[in-house]
Amino acid sequence: MGWPCRKVLISTRGRINILGRSKEQDLFAWTEKHTLASEQPKLYAISLPKDDLITNVIAKEKIFVVNFFETLMKEKEHDKRKEDARTLDCSRIHDADYHLECEVIDALTTGSTTTFIGKITSGTLP
């Protein structure tokens, strides 16, 4: 099992309300809290602050992409090079070195954090 310790960029897509209007939006968040949860079946776990907007969207839409980078990107740089994921209705970062596309199979909230466990539908681990 791999135990990555570097930051990854999580991406998802879903409907959010902005000033009373519903709009589909791509959302992104950096996290250091992530790991391969199982090799058979292939599962990946990520943890995010439970009150973040992206956490609420992932909980509702049940999808996320883990974007891995050999060198850490500057924040906001990811907005320039998005592309559609291969197996999910979600965006991923074109310039990422690796991607894991995941469907949420379970979620656990503990304290200030929500952990999502996703079945890997596409991608390879670094």
Q: What is the CATH number of the domain that holds 38?
A: 2.30.110.10
Q: What is the pLDDT of residue 1?
A: 44
Q: Is residue 2 part of a domain?
A: no
pLDDT of residue 16 exceeding 70, the answer is yes
Give me 30's structure tokens.
């950096």
Mean pLDDT of 13-24: 90
Q: Is residue 93 part of a domain?
A: yes
Residues sharing a CB contact under 8 Å with residue 89, sequence separation 6 or more, in sequence order: 13, 63
Q: List the domain range (segments joined by +) for residue 119.
A: 8-123
pTM above 0.85, yes or no: yes
pLDDT tens string 40-91: 999 999 999 999 999 999 999 999 999 998 776 655 555 568 898 999 999 9
Contact assessment for residue 69 and residue 41, using Cβ atoms and an 8 Å cutoff:
no
Measured CA to CA, the distance from residue 34 to residue 29 in angstroms comes to: 12
Residue type, 33: K
φ and ψ of 82, to 5 deg:
-85, 155
- If you average pLDDT over each of 11-20, 88-97, 102-111, which comes out highest? 102-111
Structural domain count of the chain: 1
Give me 13's structure tokens.
């897509």
Q: Is residue 1 part of a domain?
A: no
> Cβ of 46: how many Cβ atoms within 10 Å?
24
Give me 116's structure tokens.
């999502």
The mean predicted confidence, pLDDT, of the chain is 89
